[in-house]
Amino acid sequence: MPYIAALLQELRLYLRLQQCDDDLAADARAAGCECGGKLHSARYRRKPRGGPTGIGEGYDRRWSFCCAEEGCRRRVTPPSVRFLGRKFYLGAVVVVLGALRQTASMMRLASVRRYVGVSLRTLRRWAAWWQTDFAESHFWRAAQGLLPPPAPTAATLPAALLATFNGDEEARLVSALRFVAPITTASAKGGAAF
């Protein structure tokens, strides 16, 4: 998995993830509000950590919408492949470092951690999140049935989840982020914000 760590430095990856989020947002906006009202943009600021310099101005905003109907004003926040729920670090960073923690040498992991700026304490917190909060979530219990057997176990997440998908490491990372995207918002059907 050596190339996957290098992906975190590739601006191309983040532009691809931005396009995925733009597509998810366009779908949500086109669907409109449950009340039938039109959705207006209500994006909110994020301070994403872990990406390369020059990631772009658009990366500091999360797509969200607000119903224009008086009396409704319901907020609709589409799933995201860039942001993993409320985590400060970008989703790609949380997945890649979580996988590297399971598969890479300590020296390699330390090198990637320094580049991204993630403390060992944060990395341990992410490992606990993957193995408890995520693995015990309603989403994971339902979604793991969609994966080819054998489904990843809590102890093998997220490395085994990445290995489930086909393609090169960038394609597998994007697929894994798309797969877990429903957990990034409470307003997505079947999703639960973490």
Query: How is the chain split into domains, by residue range?
Result: 2-184
Here the tokens at position 180 are 């877990």
Instruction: Say if residue 66's pLDDT is above 60.
Output: yes
C-alpha 31: how far from its chain's center? 22
- pLDDT tens per residue across span 98-113: 999 988 888 888 888 8
Instruction: Tell me the pairing of strands 61-62 and 75-76.
Output: unpaired
Q: Quick check: pTM over 0.85?
A: yes
Instruction: Say if residue 194's pLDDT is above 60.
Output: no
136/132 Cα distance (integer angstroms): 6
Q: What pLDDT score does 6 carry? A: 87
Instruction: Say if residue 188's pLDDT is above 90.
Output: no
